[in-house]
């Protein structure tokens, strides 16, 4: 049976009658947002809810993973695992038809509601194994976005991933392509302290999933092996960054990331994470060693003929009037037989068309301003609404500055920087400000310096020092070594560090200008607030806990208590855990003293047996240097808390909970306890006397 929501058809002929998986009430929340607000209202809802599921299902950045794929208006598309429709709309805007396969009715309804105006979308609702034999075999594109890793759960058998891929391959038209997006099991973010995306545990993927389960992600080598097992030899890899969920850049083997490019790594929107090292610096190291493809956080595997796009950068975390995509595409061959490339800037909204068209005007203004300076401006031509530039060889000025730093060549560094400063000064009093005149936007090819990006050009007089300050500020963000030399140069130019801070504030104001009324992804990340815990802080806290969370035992065998004969039963215990301690009886054991911590603390004694008999903290044979709150609880306003049990010849057994607190909290609780008033003053002045 088929039903329609708007123009979208939902075919539930094979629906099992209930949703076999669901995220709970949040799906109802998302459905309400989709019904009541429409796509223009999603950003506001994301900011209001401060919720990972709402962000994940409704962010427009989710479309980035497919919007670069050159699907044509004549193409027939299959999307397996369409979920709440995060990418369905992007495919529908490009293709002739989109067939979705989805098991959840609730998610399919969300998909249909958000894409209700799309008359070329059909959602087939049901179990994949039942649906698969009924699917057509002439799809030009099949998209498996965040789906392949679950094959073991719904395919079964000894080789579920090979089987799944072979099944999907049967449904491609001749010359068709399959697009798979999946996490890399060895992605750098997992080494750096992010939890495995599906299990929410540390290092499970790195350790090859020792606990089992129905989800598997793969390395590049493993994905290639699966392809070969199915006889697939025509495939290519792309590298979405930071990952495929909220991709902002797409790299390929023809255009790998350059040193300094990968600095957007704090993207743990869904859960807390550790920070074991600076991912940016490690990425730079991997890039230098040619190892980036093996440690990319995610992969896009395209099966079929290689696509023309070799690089894409998405700037759609902006106000609609500035939302664009920058692509590097193959464009035939050069006279020498080498592959040729071109750069395109593509408006992603109707409002952004005029912004892209201004690039051609900017090129003319900059050529006039820098004529005779030695700085060439990469020319721009318009192809419809898209701006097209020549792809220039060479290395960025940023790369060359980094290389000089690494080699300790400060003279070479300063020579490059001095030439940059002379270029900035060249236009003189021309009322023109290129906000993009920073080191990564200058390509150096021998003696030629070329300006390759000039999206933000303003007709206003701007002090030269502000332009240089911004370039140094952007450069300094890359590493401590960069920051150190940038601050030195700022000082030489007559800037103090406060000027550096002013530059940061101006940059923040500019970023707000580009995002308009909406929050950027970094602001949304801060609002959702999934903590990042530096490992050195974690280690320090752990070692402090090990030092302070120790239960020390003293036994009086007739000579009193002494440090020399004391011992530790538990070290580094977890707070609020119910701890059980057994002390064996000994002939002549007159008393036992138990120090629950080496700090101010609360203690709750769940049970206390002395010589096999129950006791409480109010028993005459039990004393402590804390303030009793009840028969089972005490607060210790001292860094040397202790509980003494007399006449314990037959041994004792105690179960207790311990919570370390601040001195101020301990004093506040003691001062607020009626029974404790008048006792605290006395307890403050007592050395440990066992009473």
**CA separation for the pair 243, 266 (Å, rounded):** 11
pLDDT digits (tens, 9 = 90+) for 117-141: 999 999 999 988 899 999 999 999 9
Residue 691 has what pLDDT?
Answer: 28
Q: Which of 197-211, 264-278, 378-392, 496-510 has the lowest mean pLDDT?
A: 496-510
Other CB atoms within 10 Å distance of the CB of residue 138: 12
Residue 432 has what pLDDT?
Answer: 79
Q: Give the confidence band of 153 by pLDDT, cuts at 50, 70, 90.
A: confident
Percent of the chain with pLDDT over 90: 74
540: helix, coil or strand? helix
Q: Give the confidence band of 244 by pLDDT, cuts at 50, 70, 90.
A: very high
Residue 689 has what pLDDT?
Answer: 29
Residue 684 has what pLDDT?
Answer: 40
Report which DSSP code applies to 438: S
Residue 574 has what pLDDT?
Answer: 74
Q: Give the confidence band of 108 by pLDDT, cuts at 50, 70, 90.
A: very high
Q: Give the confidence band of 686 by pLDDT, cuts at 50, 70, 90.
A: very low
The mean per-residue pLDDT over the stretch 583-592 comes to: 91
Residue 428 has what pLDDT?
Answer: 65
**CA separation for the pair 278, 599 (Å, rounded):** 34
Q: Give the confidence band of 682 by pLDDT, cuts at 50, 70, 90.
A: very low
Helix, strand, coil percentages in the chain from 3-state DSSP, rounded to 5: 35, 25, 35
Please give the structure tokens belonging to residue 639: 């860094």
The mean per-residue pLDDT over the stretch 420-428 comes to: 86
Chain-wide mean pLDDT for the chain?
91
Q: Give the confidence band of 552 by pLDDT, cuts at 50, 70, 90.
A: very high
Place of tokens 């509980």: 643
- Counting Cβ atoms within 10 Å, is residue 464 exposed (0-12), middle (13-18) or buried (19+)? middle
Q: Give the confidence band of 685 by pLDDT, cuts at 50, 70, 90.
A: very low
The mean per-residue pLDDT over the stretch 171-195 comes to: 97
> How far is residue 690 from each of residues 115, 614, 655, measured CA to CA in Å?
75, 20, 20
pLDDT digits (tens, 9 = 90+) for 639-661: 999 999 999 999 999 999 999 89
> How far is residue 393 from each of residues 337, 388, 425, 565, measured CA to CA in Å?
16, 16, 26, 75
Whether 55 has a pLDDT exceeding 90, the answer reads yes
Q: Give the confidence band of 500 by pLDDT, cuts at 50, 70, 90.
A: confident
Residue 335 has what pLDDT?
Answer: 66
Residue 680 has what pLDDT?
Answer: 47
Residue 670 has what pLDDT?
Answer: 86
Whether 676 has a pLDDT exceeding 60, the answer reads no
Which long-range CB contacts under 8 A does 53-57 form with residues at least 24 apart? 53/23, 53/26, 54/26, 54/29, 54/30, 55/269, 55/524, 55/528, 56/86, 56/245, 56/269, 56/270, 57/30, 57/83, 57/84, 57/86, 57/110
pLDDT digits (tens, 9 = 90+) for 226-241: 999 999 999 999 999 9
Percent of the chain with pLDDT over 70: 95
Residue 329 has what pLDDT?
Answer: 96
| Kind and range of the H or E run holding 162 | helix 160-169
Q: Which of 237, 314, 200, 246 is closest to 86 using CA atoms? A: 246
The mean per-residue pLDDT over the stretch 382-407 comes to: 94
How many residues can be counted in the chain? 691
* Alpha carbon 497 to its chain's center: 30
The mean per-residue pLDDT over the stretch 146-164 comes to: 92
pLDDT digits (tens, 9 = 90+) for 189-211: 999 999 999 999 999 999 999 98
């Amino acid at each position: 049976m088929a039903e329609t929501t708007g123009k979208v058809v939902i075919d539930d002929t094979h629906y099992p009658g209930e949703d076999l998986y669901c995220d709970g009430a949040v799906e109802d929340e998302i459905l309400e947002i989709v019904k009541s607000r429409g796509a223009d209202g999603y950003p506001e809802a994301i900011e209001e809810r401060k919720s990972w599921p709402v962000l994940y299902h409704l962010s427009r950045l989710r479309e980035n993973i497919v919007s670069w794929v050159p699907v044509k208006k004549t193409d027939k598309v299959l999307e397996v695992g369409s979920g709440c429709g995060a990418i369905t709309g992007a495919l529908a805007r490009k293709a002739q038809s989109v067939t979705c396969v989805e098991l959840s009715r609730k998610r399919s309804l969300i998909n249909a509601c958000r894409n209700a105006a799309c008359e070329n979308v059909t959602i087939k609702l049901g179990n994949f194994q039942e649906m698969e034999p009924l699917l057509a075999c002439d799809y030009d594109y099949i998209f498996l976005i965040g789906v392949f890793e679950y094959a073991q759960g719904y395919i079964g058998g000894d080789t579920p991933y090979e089987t799944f891929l072979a099944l999907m391959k049967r449904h491609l038209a001749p010359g068709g392509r399959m697009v798979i997006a999946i996490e890399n099991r060895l992605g750098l973010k997992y080494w750096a302290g992010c939890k495995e995306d599906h299990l929410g545990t540390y290092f499970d993927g790195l350790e090859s999933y020792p606990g089992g389960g129905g989800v598997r992600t793969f390395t590049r080598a493993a994905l290639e092996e699966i392809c070969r097992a199915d006889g697939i030899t025509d495939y290519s890899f792309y590298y979405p960054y930071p990952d495929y969920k909220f991709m902002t850049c797409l790299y390929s083997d023809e255009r790998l990331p350059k040193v300094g490019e990968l600095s957007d790594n704090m993207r743990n929107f869904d859960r807390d994470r550790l920070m074991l090292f600076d991912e940016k610096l490690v990425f730079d190291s991997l890039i230098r060693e040619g190892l980036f493809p093996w440690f990319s956080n995610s992969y896009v595997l395209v099966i079929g003929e290689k696509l023309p796009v070799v690089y894409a950068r998405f700037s759609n975390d902006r106000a609609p009037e500035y939302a664009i995509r920058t692509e590097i595409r193959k464009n035939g061959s050069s006279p020498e037989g080498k592959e040729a490339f071109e750069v395109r800037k593509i408006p992603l909204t109707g409002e952004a068309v005029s912004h892209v068209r201004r690039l051609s005007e900017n090129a003319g203004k900059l050529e006039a301003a820098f004529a005779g300076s030695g700085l060439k401006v990469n020319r721009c031509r318009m192809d419809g609404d898209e701006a097209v530039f020549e792809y220039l060889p060479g290395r960025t000025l940023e790369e060359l500055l980094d290389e000089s730093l690494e080699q300790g060549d400060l003279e070479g560094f300063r020579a490059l920087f001095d030439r940059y400063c002379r270029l900035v000064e060249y236009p003189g009093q021309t009322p023109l400000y290129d906000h993009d005149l920073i080191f990564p936007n200058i390509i150096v090819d021998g003696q030629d310096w070329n300006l390759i990006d000039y999206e933000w050009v303003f007709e206003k007089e701007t002090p030269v020092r502000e332009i240089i300050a911004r370039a140094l500020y952007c450069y300094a963000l890359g590493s401590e070594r960069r920051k150190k030399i940038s601050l030195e140069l700022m000082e030489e130019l007559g800037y103090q560090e406060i000027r550096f801070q002013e530059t940061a504030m101006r940059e923040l104001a500019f970023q707000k200008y580009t995002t308009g009324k909406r929050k950027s992804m970094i602001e949304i990340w801060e609002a959702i607030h999934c903590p990042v815990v530096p490992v050195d802080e974690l280690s320090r806290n752990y070692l402090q806990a090990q030092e302070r969370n120790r239960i020390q035992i003293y036994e009086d065998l007739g000579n009193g208590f002494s440090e020399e004969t004391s011992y530790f039963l538990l070290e580094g215990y977890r707070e609020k855990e119910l701890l059980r301690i057994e002390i064996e009886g000994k002939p002549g054991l007159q008393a036992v003293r138990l120090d629950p911590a080496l700090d101010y603390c609360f203690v709750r004694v769940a049970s206390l047996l002395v010589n096999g008999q129950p006791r409480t903290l109010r028993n005459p044979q039990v004393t402590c240097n804390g303030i009793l709150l009840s028969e089972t609880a005490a607060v210790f306003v001292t860094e040397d808390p202790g509980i003494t049990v007399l006449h314990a010849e037959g041994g004792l057994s105690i179960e207790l909970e311990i919570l370390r607190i601040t001195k101020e909290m301990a004093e506040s609780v003691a001062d607020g306890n009626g029974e404790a008033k008048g006792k605290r003053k006395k307890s403050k002045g007592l050395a440990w006397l066992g009473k």
